[in-house]
């Protein structure tokens, strides 16, 4: 590929994907197309912003004209689509924002890519040799699992429960429809919970690290028994690289860490490490744990079967949870400027509106 457009490249996962591609493929132009919502932050990419093969375009995925002019200007032949509204709690407050960006934004991008590349069923075989549209999705589209050891498979039926997961499910269907109807050469992945540097501190792990450091209550939803399958973000970025280059057109691959944790256990683990790093007595911050009202429609358990990706493309997570969580906590504690810049202003208002009356 000569020019790859990465949408949402200023966000958490997107910035890791941009960094990996800019460094690994110096002959390929990497275009970071991002609207810079509250979640987009160009300081996530300071280390690569001067690279010759990197360019940033401020744009909305709902802006068809801007997408088209960007595709034309850089002769884009690959798209990795990560731009989205990504936080479940926000989707409960404002479902329409999620339908607009995640559904209509994805549809706009699909339409522009199809037209720009001239895709049709008649030329699908040629298109699939030249172009690639890669849609990044989530395990949440599959719904929720019981505590029975079962795992989400690519063939599971979709059963989203939150406005966020419903919007992602809808976008997945549009992506497949553009493959089946217009011959657009698509690949999709559905990944489990990511963690690591540059994650916006509205999400569980960075929120807890920041609150422990500042001796603020640690809001645990419900009983804290919900289970998530955690994957270090750089391992996700490597899987994206692999699927983008080697994945079979039309296929979906699940990505996960085989790493299930109950929320309360993660919170206790983070407390132990942060207290140690800050030189506090063991368990000093346990008293900060505060059980609060549960998330509406809270999915009980996610767990991913990523054996298809492992068998077909040879991917495996490289970072153990012990290594990954240590690295992540140390990163947040030593990047105070990054976190302080985010947590002032709008974040304070968001935090108050989300947690102040959450009994
Ligand atoms: P994020 O919220 O950190 O970043 C989203 C990025 O998209 C931001 O840079 C934002 O500015 C940009 N954006 C939002 N609306 C836009 C628009 N209309 N036009 C252009 N840019 C826009 O999200 P993330 O956690 O990095 O997730 C990235 C993708 O991966 C999402 O599609 C998400 O559904 C998916 N995903 C995330 C996880 C996870 O654990 N975080 C797991 C599986 C899948
Ligand atoms: O599974 C993949 C998904 O993971 C992605 O598609 C989403 O974009 C991403 O946000 C994430 O969704 P979750 O809802 O699982 O992540 P979050 O960090 O918001 O919450 C993780 C768990 O922690 C969940 O069970 C809710 C709980 N939680 C979260 C917050 C923010 C708390 O108990 N307290 C909190 O303050």
Give residue-wise pLDDT tens across range 114-127. 999 999 999 999 99
Indicate which atom in ligand 2 lies nearest the CA of residue 222.
Answer: 33
140 is catalytic: yes
139 is catalytic: yes
Q: Please state, as a whole number, how many other Cβ atoms lie within 10 Å of the Cβ of residue 205.
A: 23
Range 323-342 average pLDDT: 97
CA of 330 to the centre of ligand 2 (A): 21
Give residue-wise pLDDT tens across range 30-80. 999 999 999 999 999 999 999 999 999 999 999 999 999 999 999 999 999
User: Do the Cβ atoms of 269 and 351 come closer than 8 Å?
Assistant: no
Q: Please state, as a whole number, how many other Cβ atoms lie within 10 Å of the Cβ of residue 248.
A: 12
- Between CA 163 and CA 31 the distance in angstroms is 29
Give residue-wise pLDDT tens across range 107-154. 999 999 999 999 999 999 999 999 999 999 999 999 999 999 999 999
Catalytic residue among 142, 164, 302, 332: 164
Hey, which of 17, 32, 37 would you mutate to test ligand 1's pocket, going by the most ligand atoms within 8 Å of its Cβ? 37
pLDDT of residue 1: 75
Angle between helices 106-117 and 64-74 (to 10 degrees): 40
pTM listed for this prediction: 0.99
What is the rounded radius of gyration, in angstroms, for the C-alpha atoms of the chain? 20
Hey, which of 228, 291, 298, 358 would you mutate to test ligand 2's pocket, going by the most ligand atoms within 8 Å of its Cβ? 228
H or E segment and range at residue 143: none
112 is catalytic: no
Indicate which atom in ligand 2 lies nearest the CA of residue 203.
Answer: 18
Q: How confident is the model at residue 347 (pLDDT cuts 50, 70, 90)?
A: very high
CA of 240 to the centre of ligand 2 (A): 21
Q: Please state, as a whole number, how many other Cβ atoms lie within 10 Å of the Cβ of residue 343.
A: 17
Give residue-wise pLDDT tens across range 174-230. 999 999 999 999 999 999 999 999 999 999 999 999 999 999 999 999 999 999 999
Q: Please state, as a whole number, how many other Cβ atoms lie within 10 Å of the Cβ of residue 129.
A: 9
Q: Of the ranges 50-54, 295-299, 341-345, which one carries the lowest mean pLDDT score?
A: 341-345
């Amino acid at each position: 590929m000569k020019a790859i457009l990465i949408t949402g490249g200023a966000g958490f996962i997107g910035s890791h994907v941009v960094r990996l591609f800019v460094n690994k493929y110096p002959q390929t132009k990497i275009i970071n197309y991002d609207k810079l919502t509250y979640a987009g932050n160009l300081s996530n990419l300071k280390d690569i912003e001067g690279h010759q093969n990197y360019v940033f375009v401020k744009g909305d995925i709902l802006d068809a004209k801007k997408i088209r002019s960007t595709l034309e200007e850089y002769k884009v032949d690959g798209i990795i689509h990560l731009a989205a509204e990504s936080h479940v709690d926000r989707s409960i407050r404002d479902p329409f924002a999620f339908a607009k960006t995640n559904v209509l934004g994805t549809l706009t991008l699909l339409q522009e890519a199809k037209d720009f590349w001239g895709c049709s069923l008649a030329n699908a075989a040629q298109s699939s040799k030249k172009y690639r549209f890669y849609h990044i999705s989530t395990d949440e589209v599959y719904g929720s699992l019981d505590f029975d050891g079962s795992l989400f498979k690519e063939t599971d039926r979709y059963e989203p429960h939150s406005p966020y997961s419903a919007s992602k499910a809808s976008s997945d269907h549009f992506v497949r429809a553009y493959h089946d109807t217009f011959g657009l050469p698509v690949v999709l992945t559905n990944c489990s919970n990511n963690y690591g540097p540059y994650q916006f501190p509205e999400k569980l792990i960075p929120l807890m690290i920041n609150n422990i450091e500042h001796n603020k209550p640690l809001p645990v939803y419900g009983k804290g028994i919900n289970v998530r399958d955690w994957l270090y973000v750089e391992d996700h970025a490597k899987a994206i690289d692999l699927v983008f280059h080697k994945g079979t057109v039309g296929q979906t691959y699940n990505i996960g860490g085989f790493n299930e944790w109950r929320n309360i256990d993660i919170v206790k683990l983070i407390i132990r490490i942060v207290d140690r790093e800050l030189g506090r007595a063991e368990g000093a911050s346990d008293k900060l744990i505060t059980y609060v009202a549960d998330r509406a429609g809270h999915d009980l358990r996610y767990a991913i079967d990523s054996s298809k990706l492992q068998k077909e493309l040879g991917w495996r997570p490289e970072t153990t949870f012990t290594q990954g969580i240590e690295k992540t906590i140390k990163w947040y504690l030593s990047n105070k400027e990054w976190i302080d810049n985010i947590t002032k202003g709008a974040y304070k208002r968001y935090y108050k509106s989300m947690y102040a009356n959450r009994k």
